Amino acid sequence: MKSIGYVHGQDGEKWLGYLEEFPDYLTQGVSLAELEDNLRDLCKDLTSGAIPNVRRQAELQMA
């Protein structure tokens, strides 16, 4: 099973989060479990090509 990092926090009643690889795409849920489901759906959309011009975070190796 593949895993992907995400950042989350609670804002009042809502849970907000984004995938570390795709920090421009924020989603929310009414519970942490719902947020995680929404993040899974978002990851599928972002990696399937369904959303055009996706921006990703990466690391550059320096000599």
16-51 tens-digit pLDDT: 999 999 999 999 999 999 999 999 999 999 999 988
| CB proximity list for 1: less than 8 A, separation 6 or greater | none
DSSP 27: E
Closest by CA position to 58, among listed 26, 25, 24, 21: 21
pTM: 0.88
Residue in 3, 33, 5 with CA at minimum distance from that of residue 18: 5
- The Cα–Cα gap between 36 and 3 comes to 12
